[in-house]
Structure 1
Amino acid sequence: MWTSSTDTVDSQRPKILRIYNIYRVVLGLFLTLLTSSALRDGLIDLQNPDLYESASWIYLIINVLIALLLHQGKRDLHLFVLAFIDIFLLAVLFYAAGGASSGLGNLLIIPVATGNILLHGRIGLLLAALASLALIYLTFFLSLAHPSISQSYLQVGVLGCIYFAVALFVQRLSRRLRLSENLAQQQAASLASLEKLNQLIIQRMRTGIMVIDESLQVLLANEAAAQMLGKPIIRGMALDSLAPELGQRQRQWQVNPSIRALPFRNHPGGAELMANFKRLPADERESILVFLDDNALMAQQVQQLKLASLGRLTASIAHEIRNPLGALSHAAQLLIESEHIHDQDRRLTEIIQQHSKRMNKVIETVLELSRRRQSEPQLVDLTLWVAQFIRDYKQTSPATDTIECELEKEGILTRMDPNQLRQVLSNLCQNAFRYSGEPGSERTIWLKLYEDAGTGLPTLEIIDHGPGIDDRHLSQVFEPFYTTESAGTGLGLYISRELCESNQATLEYERLEPRGSCMRIVFAHPRRLV
């Protein structure tokens, strides 16, 4: 919020008044001391000592009381009355001291100047007018009361002009000071607002940002850095206690900045991080700026670019293969319908049709993969979503297939594209049923939804009690076109894993003992930055 000129003056009034009160008390003490004839010899020749003594003591007492009781005068009326009393009493002392020759007329410059600092416009000029009129009137009255004493009207007139000059000068100067102060406050407010905006932007960045000093202590860190490292970051925390691997890579970078640091994990199950370092311009202490990026996201982006290029290539190849494949399948169909074909040849045409259908299925899967849309993550309540998925799946699956569900608790949230999650889970459930038994037999699979105790991430397991995957083939489970079935395409698990990774989730396989398989989906945190 910007501060107005009135607010600026109000904020400075207590300080100015304190200084002015101290000045008046000191001046009152000095003027009171002059009541002693021994002290004023050679300084001033009083024309009315009794009036001077009474006025000086009244001036001192009033100023002491004002200094003790009125610390903060905020209203213009109070300030005007205060300045008026000051001018009036000093004018009385001016008269008692003998007029312009005493030099006390110069003392009225201070209340006029102070009044014009605190009061503006015509009311400030009114104080200068009152002081000028008081001196002119008292000088004229002295000339009548004491004709033998010559009075300098020219000196009094010059003092009056000085009062007005001081009033105008002080008003102009204070106006400029107020404008300068307002501009400074506006700029400070703008800088503070800009600083808050910069802090908000840094806190919302997906890249983790940290600033460490020469002793490897954390000075600043944003929210993304704390999420990536999996620990709360406190100012002054040692980097080695926060992330030992990161501290090691920082020391390696100091030795040879040209070597790219290797990725690391700050805790088991955490994200694989890539650290980059940048030395900040040295002021008093040298600081280092640390950038933390999720290596999985970077690898995913690179992989998506490769897959996009590969997808365009395979899509064009698939289109070229589809036309002759359709001709072969159609020719085989015509051969089967022929009345003169032998049984042995009929079997060969069935083999042609069977493999043509398999090739066509592979082509359709490849085309679907190349046309895959970008993920649109949403906040999903997995507890409700899995329950709805089971109900929908049962409506389209055989009555002999059963899905048992185990939910740890309600309200397990994540961020994922619901359509892509349905595609992944449908594929995994079909695979689990396929390996649980022959179609038509009683087959059961289990879905287990929980939050991992170590990472706190939502986890969904698809479990079957089939024979499982042989250890020799575990490394190839998620490779494209790898399958152990003669009728399979080998793209189901590959596509499922790609869809999970595009939503920052992971899909992994675990062999169960004594038999069975577990496909585990570890979802992203619901508060992940998207």
Structure 2
Amino acid sequence: MGFRLAALTPESRDTFWRSLQTLNATRVVIALVLLAYLSVDSRSLRAAGGIGYAPVCIAYLLLALGFAAAARTRRRFLLQLLTQIACDLAVISLLYAGAGGLRSGLAILYLFPLAGMAILAPLLLALFSASLVALFLLGHSAWQIFTQDGDSTTLQAGLFGGAFLAAVLVVNRMAAKLIGQEELAVRRGAEIHVQQSVNRLVMSHMSDGIVVLDADGQVHAGNPAAQQMLGMAGAEMRLDLGSAPALAPLAQAHRDWLADPARATALLTIKPYTDPALQETTAAWSARRDLAAHLRVRFAAVETDGLGVERSVIFLQDVTAIENQAQQLKLASMGRLTASIAHEVRNPLSAIAHATSLLSEDLAAPVHTRLLKIVGDNVARVNRMVEDILQLSRKVQPHGEPLALDGFLAELVAEFQDTHALAAGIVRREPAGPALVRFDPLHLREVVLNLMNNAVRYASGGPASIRLFVVGGKGRGLELHVQDDGPGISPGVRAHLFEPFYTTSSKGTGLGLYLARELCLNNEAMLDYEYRFDAQVQADGSRKSSGRFVITFARPAGMPGP
């Protein structure tokens, strides 16, 4: 065992050196006990001549101290061990022979070095040492038969020698087994540590959420995906599911699963948006509480037989993106279908419009005029819808040149006011400065006109009831806000705001906002409806939140951020 010390793990090598230090400390104690015993037992000293015992014990004590100091260097383990055991056997043999052999009772001292040899050295060396001791005991007993009168102690010496050999064999095998168990434990510990590191890495990069909790609903761990799904991004996953109102559906599903293990899967809707960091910059922290996250959850029990603890794992899958993707596929299919239908409808529609125009020349009665006007208005409405559908199917590659936003908006607002005959001051445009955006001018014109038409429809008509302003800053994208002072859009309507053919107006087609968003996406921009805090502080120190359409532009290639 000692020859393989270099092949052992650092933990096992440390165990060997600690055992050697313990052996050295025991040797010092034995040397002190021998000195105390031999100094007071004058009869034994006289029987043995009384010469040499004190010097031998003192020398043994000094050697023990020297061995203890040498072991601290942790070099040449086997050489130090063999030297120490040889010294122990030599000193004990001197004392044993000088005290009269087996009658002195000092033969038991041989167990100390032999046990150390059995624990720290290979079996062959340990048995060799025990054999030397057995031969010495038998030889000394035989010598006493020829030189001294008295009873023979050969049988006792043989029994001691056999006992020493058996003890060495048993102790060596037990020590080897313990060292093997320690090696196995160290290897298993390293494997578990590596496996834990791999598990943490996999969990942190998984798109599905993982939550570990006990039978009482106390959460013990969770990966970043679970934190994001549950609205706890950056928070410590140490909470009780029952204490979080937003997580009440998840807590109830967990209790149902505990009561009936067959209910291991469920579809839940939670409203986790509780990010207070946005409270001073956006009203989304309150408005988005109406937005829901759709989660597919699956419960699984962890096998902890005999450990006295219960753990279960919740696997969370956010199906909101899947639902959105399915919605987009449905809309894309519907768009292709409506585009093909629009091509087929356009020619009959033109024929109806032309026939209506011809009939208006021959029919002059008021009833006929009213009916023809109804037909003409509906033909115009259907024709506008067809034009919008066809425009969606003609996505032109946008221009890559930067567009000066301030001059573009000034010209567009002036034209809009003239076209709608608006009073001065109804539309307020705040200067955008030298802001440059990457957006096709024709596309941006159509998007902004669509948003301003909606604003005119719902605004109060007072001064600055419609506002256009640019927001941008360090670390933020450039945004164009189109805001009016009309009533905000309810959460129910906002959920379907950009869907095609969805409208709350009897005269609308439901394609305007959908077309505007598609044009923004075609120019790598984003259009959304948001609640934001106004910059002005009210008299009570608070800031009013209001809804507005926000266009987030893509940064022009090669241009620094705002």
CA positional deviation for 1:194: 1.5
Task: Determine the C-alpha separation between the residues in 2 that align with 1:82 and 1:118.
Answer: 12
Aligned counterpart in structure 2 of residue 95 of structure 1, from 70, 93, 97: 97
Secondary structure of residue in 1 paired with 2:84: helix
- 1:494 lines up with 2:514 in the alignment: yes
User: Aligned AA for 2:14?
Assistant: S
Give 1:32-111 correspondences, 5 Å limit.
Answer: 32=35, 35=38, 47-52=48-53, 54-56=55-57, 58-59=59-60, 62-63=63-64, 65=65, 72=72, 74-75=74-75, 76=77, 77-99=79-101, 102=104, 104-111=106-113
Indicate if the aligned counterparts of 2:12 and 2:182 stay in contact, CA closer than 8 A: no
Task: Determine the C-alpha separation between the residues in 1 that align with 2:165 and 2:178.
Answer: 20
Indicate if the aligned counterparts of 1:463 and 1:517 stay in contact, CA closer than 8 A: no
Give 1:337-352 correspondences, 5 Å limit.
Answer: none
Aligned counterpart in structure 2 of residue 264 of structure 1, from 255, 271, 274: 271
Structure 1 residues 355-414: Cα deviation after superposition (integer angstroms, max 9, x where no partner): 88973762573698xxxxxxxxxxxxxxxxxxx9770688xx8995699985999xxxxx
CA positional deviation for 1:97: 2.5
Indicate if the aligned counterparts of 1:509 and 1:518 stay in contact, CA closer than 8 A: yes
Aligned counterpart in structure 2 of residue 391 of structure 1, from 402, 405, 430: 402
Aligned counterpart in structure 2 of residue 481 of structure 1, from 501, 506, 509: 501
CA positional deviation for 1:58: 4.4
Which residue number corresponds to residue 16 of structure 1?
Answer: 19
Secondary structure of residue in 1 paired with 2:472: strand
Which residue number corresponds to residue 281 of structure 2?
Answer: none
User: Aligned AA for 1:359?
Assistant: V
Aligned-residue CA RMSD (Å): 6.4
CA positional deviation for 1:90: 0.6
Specify every segment of 5 or more residues in structure 1 that has no aligned partner in the other structure, as ranges.
336-340, 346-350, 369-387, 410-418, 438-443, 452-456, 524-530
Aligned counterpart in structure 1 of residue 471 of structure 2, from 432, 444, 448: 448
Indicate if the aligned counterparts of 2:443 and 2:519 stay in contact, CA closer than 8 A: yes
User: Aligned AA for 2:550?
Assistant: R
Indicate if the aligned counterparts of 1:116 and 1:167 stay in contact, CA closer than 8 A: yes
Task: Determine the C-alpha separation between the residues in 1 that align with 2:439 and 2:42.
Answer: 101
CA positional deviation for 1:184: 1.7
Which residue number corresponds to residue 7 of structure 1?
Answer: 10
Task: Determine the C-alpha separation between the residues in 2 that align with 1:124 and 1:422.
Answer: 94
Indicate if the aligned counterparts of 1:208 and 1:293 stay in contact, CA closer than 8 A: yes
Task: Determine the C-alpha separation between the residues in 1 that align with 2:163 and 2:140.
Answer: 17
User: Aligned AA for 1:85?
Assistant: C
Task: Determine the C-alpha separation between the residues in 1 that align with 2:294 and 2:530.
Answer: 26
Secondary structure of residue in 2 paired with 1:507: strand
Which residue number corresponds to residue 119 of structure 2?
Answer: 117
Aligned counterpart in structure 1 of residue 386 of structure 2, from 333, 337, 359: 359
Task: Determine the C-alpha separation between the residues in 2 that align with 1:72 and 1:357.
Answer: 94
Task: Determine the C-alpha separation between the residues in 1 that align with 2:335 and 2:14.
Answer: 75
Task: Determine the C-alpha separation between the residues in 1 that align with 2:238 and 2:21.
Answer: 43
Indicate if the aligned counterparts of 1:94 and 1:105 stay in contact, CA closer than 8 A: yes
* Identity across matched positions, percent: 23
User: Aligned AA for 1:507?
Assistant: D
Which residue number corresponds to residue 519 of structure 1?
Answer: 549
Structure 1 residues 41-72: Cα deviation after superposition (integer angstroms, max 9, x where no partner): 8xx99655434455345445654x46985674
Indicate if the aligned counterparts of 2:118 and 2:126 stay in contact, CA closer than 8 A: yes
Structure 1 residues 467-506: Cα deviation after superposition (integer angstroms, max 9, x where no partner): 999989x867534136899x997545326658999x9x88
Indicate if the aligned counterparts of 2:402 and 2:439 stay in contact, CA closer than 8 A: no
Task: Determine the C-alpha separation between the residues in 2 that align with 1:54 and 1:240.
Answer: 78
Secondary structure of residue in 2 paired with 1:305: helix
Structure-2-length-normalised TM-score: 0.57
The number of equivalent residue pairs is: 460
Indicate if the aligned counterparts of 2:141 and 2:152 stay in contact, CA closer than 8 A: yes
User: Aligned AA for 1:391?
Assistant: P
Indicate if the aligned counterparts of 2:527 and 2:549 stay in contact, CA closer than 8 A: no
Task: Determine the C-alpha separation between the residues in 2 that align with 1:50 and 1:465.
Answer: 113
Task: Determine the C-alpha separation between the residues in 2 that align with 1:285 and 1:406.
Answer: 63
Structure 1 residues 296-339: Cα deviation after superposition (integer angstroms, max 9, x where no partner): xx3442243244246446635654664x568779999xx9xxxx
CA positional deviation for 1:190: 1.2
Indicate if the aligned counterparts of 1:480 and 1:494 stay in contact, CA closer than 8 A: yes
Which residue number corresponds to residue 229 of structure 1?
Answer: 231
Structure-1-length-normalised TM-score: 0.60
Task: Determine the C-alpha separation between the residues in 1 that align with 2:327 and 2:68.
Answer: 82
Give 1:19-418 correspondences, 5 Å limit.
Answer: 19-21=22-24, 23-25=26-28, 27-28=30-31, 31-32=34-35, 35=38, 47-52=48-53, 54-56=55-57, 58-59=59-60, 62-63=63-64, 65=65, 72=72, 74-75=74-75, 76=77, 77-99=79-101, 102=104, 104-120=106-122, 127-128=129-130, 131=133, 135=137, 142=143, 146=147, 148=149, 167=168, 170-211=171-212, 218-227=219-228, 228-230=230-232, 232-234=234-236, 243-246=244-247, 250=251, 254=255, 263-267=270-274, 268=286, 269=288, 272-273=292-293, 298-309=319-330, 311-312=332-333, 315=336, 318-319=339-340, 322=343, 324=344, 359=386, 362-363=389-390, 365=392, 391=402
CA positional deviation for 1:188: 1.5
Task: Determine the C-alpha separation between the residues in 2 that align with 1:446 and 1:303.
Answer: 31
Which residue number corresponds to residue 462 of structure 1?
Answer: 480
Change (3 A) 1:109 1:308: same
User: Aligned AA for 1:146?
Assistant: T
Indicate if the aligned counterparts of 2:500 and 2:514 stay in contact, CA closer than 8 A: yes
Which residue number corresponds to residue 374 of structure 1?
Answer: none
Indicate if the aligned counterparts of 2:220 and 2:238 stay in contact, CA closer than 8 A: yes
Specify every segment of 5 or more residues in structure 2 that has no aligned partner in the other structure, as ranges.
1-5, 275-285, 363-377, 414-428, 457-466, 535-545, 554-562
Structure 1 residues 407-447: Cα deviation after superposition (integer angstroms, max 9, x where no partner): 999xxxxxxxxx9999997874574588899xxxxxx9654
Change (3 A) 1:400 1:251: closer
Indicate if the aligned counterparts of 2:16 and 2:120 stay in contact, CA closer than 8 A: yes
